[in-house]
Structure 1
Amino acid sequence: MASSPQTNIPLPPDPGGNSQGNEDILPPVPIHIVTQPNQLPVEFLEPTPLTKIIIGFDCEGVDLCRHGTLCIMQLAFPDAIYLVDAIEGGDSLVKACKPALESTYITKVIHDCKRDSEALYYQFGIKLHNVVDTQIAYSLIKEQEGQKRLPDDYISFVTLLADPQYCGVAYAEKEEVRFLLRKDPNFWTYRPLSEQMVRAAADDVRFLPSIYHKMVEKLNHRSLWHLAVRGALYCRCFCHSNNNYADWPPLPPVPENLISEKNMLEEEILSVLDVPNGKMGRIIGRKGATILAIKDSCDAEIIIGGSKGPPDKLFIIGPVKQVRKAEAMLRGRMMDIP
């Protein structure tokens, strides 16, 4: 097991100029490269209601989706960061993490869960569950502040880290890694892991638990419920099967403290729309103008599989009435005669 004393991102500047205070908030932690299950904490491998934990979570790989290669899973605990090496440890190592990744007792804080969830589902049979997606949380906070609902992918991870409300750090190395990935898509497959690979992987999760706590403090009970539901829907978004997600855990119920509002809380759903061959271009429109116009007309997210697929489906997430409205508009567009 290899370790490193700290990650690469500088700690946020302390308003009083006291750098020691920041070390107390986010002290340097060891980074462990994991190739065997017994190198992971027992409370992670064997989740129980007595040891509920919150971890930062992310995945790295080659063209990460149902067909790509999962190379690393990053787990950020308060006292350590674990890089689960799927290349060296193989399927057995990743599947040893299945109980934790599907557990209600372990909260996985992630920035954009869709493709990671898809890779875990199709490659390892893992149904990622109980996630807090910081993209969704950011959108909900802005809604609470009176803004129109933002797209749930509105903010990038680098921009979120730079926001002083949540972190206030620059992540310049992220762009360096993106450049290396464009130059060589197999970047994450090489072993042994270089210092840069270890730093970059760890930096992608290090601040997520801290950001989670700051975001949760801003969210009211209603928004927290929406956060849980949307996280569950986004996890299953690209994991489409013919059983209509019957093998997935149920969506989070309305909590007791919101029961009195139940009639006011509109259920949020995921709808999968099949697109006939040759019609996707009409739906998207020139430079995306058509689908953007439909999104602007509906309080719902419309997600396209794109180059990673699935290429013949649209995924719509939002309140029932808005999803049905989006479906009608999209079907109408499919039927339009050129």
Structure 2
Amino acid sequence: MTMEVLGTLVGAAVQGQIVASAHLMKHCSPHNLSAPPPENTSSAHITLIPDSLSHAKEVYMIAAGVIGGIFLLCTLVMFLGVKEKDDPYAPSTGKPIPFHRGFLLVMRHWPYLTLTAAFLFISVAIQLVQSNFVLFCTYAVDLRDHFQYIVLTILMSAVVSIPLWQWFLGRFGKKTAAFCGITWMMPFIILLVCVPNLAVAYVVAVASGLSVAASLLLPWSMLPDVVDDFRLANPDSRGHEAIFYSFYVFFIKFASGISLGVSTLCLQFAGYNTGACRQPRPVVFTLNLLIGAAPVAFILTGLTILLLYPITEEVRLRNKISLDKLRKQGLRTGSETDDLRGGV
């Protein structure tokens, strides 16, 4: 989890700094940038200079290579630093269950379904904001010269607030922390859409960083509780942890694909013109929706599903006590088996 959070934050910060020069629009005159947005696509002033597009392609390729290197580094650290351990709760005579049976058991486990579905919608919301933020700053609020610093502010706020959320979830519970952390960003992104100026943008960046940290930290903190609950419901199963974590990652990556697809289709239908100094009003309106109303709708849907998540702090503590008893029972059984073998 640590390497995922670190890699995500560092990768986003590095990419923002590298691709910033591609959005400065040096080929656009001040008149084109200060003029009001055109009413429709046909009247948009399009400036497609090969050199500028070639430069944009080059910096994005460099950013992709750097992020790929960060990904490999984080994977290597995880591979070398994490050692597999035997499941202390598994019975000594248990056998690994077949994949298809384990998959069906996991997909029928209600806490896992609610947690995954809730953060699927929340991840779509956050990805919508992240994937459209550069275009929003460039064409909707005229902050193209500041967006990389705003992104850096978001990431710094996220890094600083992770210990805060760790304390908060220990004090008030993980479900409460999830609600508070994710809900926190909704009024601020609406504020940025309604009051688009630089000071508000930095306030929103700090507030959004808190929610980004919560969205990265809390799912990985809640998944082990779901696995423990599954262990109590299926005491004879083994090898199910990989199914839980791998399919959760799959669904979150699926959410990223959904957000990118929705954004691309919406902007295409609105008449987005690559390389234009100014975009038509439908594009500006669409960017406002993709940054404001759409993420709020997805977050509200995710939080509504999260209300159905059954593992409260009381349930978590009860499961922990039950698993401790199960572990001690397994240790006693294993010890008695060894004694019998020794006697023979």
TM-score (norm 2): 0.24
Is the radius of gyration larger for structure 1 or structure 2? Answer: 2
Q: Looking at both structures, which has the greater relative contact order when contacts are Cα pairs under 8 Å and sequence separation is at least 6?
A: 2
Structure with higher strand content:
1
TM-score (norm 1): 0.24
